[in-house]
């Protein structure tokens, strides 16, 4: 989460909400710039975290499954998406209540 804070400032990205899951993560991002900003932010984030994880856990290769998806959304869909992201650990039966999941914001 520290790395997200650093990178969001560098890339001028607003993080609306996020949820880190065991094999993937969800980020709802906002920028007034073109999506190229988001691409650079995501590349920096994934490379940085992969290096940390692989070094820390003596692992090599990919950490998360698949590549990220970048979809523009309208303001009316935002509450639905925020709820989906926050409810993901409950849906996956990792916790009973969203407030019990540490890796969200």
3-state secondary structure of 18: strand
Pair of tokens at residue 18: 């996020």
Residue 105: inside a domain: no
Output the DSSP codes for 24-64: -EEEEEE-SS-THHHHHHHHHHHHHHHHHHHHHTT--S-SS
Confidence of residue 1 (pLDDT cuts 50, 70, 90): low
Residue 24: inside a domain: yes
The continuous run of DSSP H or E covering 8 comes out as helix 2-11
pLDDT of residue 35: 61
What share of residues in the chain are helix, strand, coil (percent, to 5)?
50, 15, 40
Average pLDDT over all residues of the chain: 87
Range of the domain at 92: 2-100
Total count of domains within the chain: 1
Question: Which pTM was predicted?
Answer: 0.78
Residues 19 and 36: their CA atoms lie apart, in Å, by: 22
Residue 44: inside a domain: yes
Residues 6+ apart with CB under 8 A from 73: 81
CB 16 within 8 A of CB 30: yes
Q: What does the pLDDT average to over 84-102?
A: 95
What percentage of residues in the chain have a pLDDT greater than 90?
A: 37
What CATH number is attached to the domain comprising 61? 3.30.70.1290
pLDDT over threshold 80, residue 74: yes
């Amino acid at each position: 989460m520290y790395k997200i804070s650093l990178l969001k400032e560098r890339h001028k990205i607003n993080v609306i909400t996020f949820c880190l899951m065991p094999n993937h993560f969800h980020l709802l991002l906002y920028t007034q710039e073109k999506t190229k900003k988001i691409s650079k932010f995501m590349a920096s984030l994934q490379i940085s975290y992969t290096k940390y994880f692989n070094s820390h856990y003596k692992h090599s290769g990919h950490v998360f499954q698949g590549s990220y998806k970048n979809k523009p959304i309208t303001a009316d869909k935002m509450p639905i998406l925020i709820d989906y992201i926050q409810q993901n650990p409950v849906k996956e039966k990792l916790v009973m209540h969203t407030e019990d999941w540490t890796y969200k914001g």
